Chains A and B, each alone.
Chain A
């Protein structure tokens, strides 16, 4: 494959990614259904690449305990563990096991990382322009209310995308998905606490 073809593929996938990012804001159900049938591996590759750039960027803002690449590798491990967990659980619960594919999980879960990336990136930019601690002045209170609303909005968006990612990849019904999420949280919450203790992540990047 020559360089020109790679560049064209990359740019096409990047444009598709931008289009789907807006689509996930406006029409998450329809776009996530499309993503679950996707075959272009450049798209999750670009998302994972953007996350790598993000970790490199915040290295200069955080306490430099670990190198950025090390934190990034631990994120990749978390991400793969999450996908593998839901993939095997879906295979266990699923009726049509042939319909459940690993690639569908990879695509939908990669796109469900976008709200996380937006929150982490905006929080780190705000850290530069409006560094904490927040004061009890009127402006401090106003910003706190705004930041809480902003964080909650992104959290709800994340929950919607996370649910849709499991729904379209596993093809399970609502109750089974809720059970799967409960099983996931049973191991993921203690795991996140361990990561916090090791000062890898304060808020889990998932």
Chain B
């Protein structure tokens, strides 16, 4: 029982180690929390489709420049 209490206490300390974010306006804080929820757990579910969409859009907007940019990036390591 004592060890469960200790584990619970350490978990509580971990969870409440920082204050929740407050952006000043309640509406702003509400939307901030809504958006950041997607990045807290399994963010790649949203990131991968989003980045593919962005890169296809970039290809249609920039065309050959994107291919040149990738060549430069490939030398970037």
Binding site for B on A (CB under 8 A): 25-30, 33-34, 36-37, 58, 61-62, 120, 123-124, 126-127, 131-136, 140-141, 143-153, 156-157, 160, 167-168, 171, 173-175, 202-203
Contacts and interface: CB of A to CB of B under 8 A. Distances in A.
Interface in B31-53: 32, 39-44, 47-48, 50-52
* A-B pairs, 4 with minimum CB distance: A29-B40, A148-B55, A203-B76, A152-B51
B70 interface: yes
20 contacts: A27-B41, A28-B39, A29-B41, A30-B40, A30-B41, A33-B14, A33-B17, A34-B14, A123-B73, A123-B74, A133-B71, A134-B68, A136-B64, A140-B67, A144-B70, A145-B56, A148-B58, A149-B52, A152-B54, A174-B23
Contacts of A134: 67-68, 70-71, 74
Main secondary structure of the interface of A (DSSP, over half): helix
Interface of B: 14-15, 17-19, 21-23, 32, 39-44, 47-48, 50-52, 54-56, 58-59, 64, 66-71, 73-77
